[in-house]
Structure 1
Amino acid sequence: MRELLDAMCRVIVDEGGYRSASVRNARQDAQETLALEAHALPADTDPDPAAWAHGITVSWADTELGQNPGGIAFRTKRPGVCQNLLTPPTP
């Protein structure tokens, strides 16, 4: 399954032109974490994109930490896409 998710993320980046794609799994822990399952960055990015992606804490909680495309997507049950990392995502 991991290989399929990695391949899907790779197509989104390589063919879709996105700078990043990831698949996260909602955990029922105290921080309501969105755990990284698969991720892709462009080929010209840091040689270890997984280390970069694993270093980001993402939550689905309705808190400041959960105001990210993944957290909003999980809470609203709608796709989460961030067009500009300098502006907050909107549901």
Structure 2
Amino acid sequence: MVEVNGGQGFVVPAIPNFEGHYDHLAKLMESFIRSKEYWDLIEHGITLPTERVLTEAQQKTLNDQKLKVLKLKNFLYQAISRNILDTIISTDISKEI
């Protein structure tokens, strides 16, 4: 955990780092991602509306889901060192990362 504001504010959980033990990182990342309420995106991805023209509410929901995917990818990329990241950089789906 990283303290913000010299201990006067809130606590930000540190993103786990891959240190060569995949099973350990997988459990840490699953717990971290579940705590952020993004695990559903790992399991199911984004739900795309079937309509061609979206209502304002549907567009907002889709935009919110896309933002969560970007945040999720950011968490995953931060956990992986540069030399490993180079091997998966072309992967676009969070579950594959």
- TM superposition score normalised by structure 1: 0.29
Which structure is richer in relative contact order (CA contacts within 8 A, separation 6 or more)? 2
Quick check: which has more Rg, 1 or 2?
2
Greater helix fraction, Structure 1 or Structure 2: 2
- TM superposition score normalised by structure 2: 0.28
Greater strand fraction, Structure 1 or Structure 2: 1
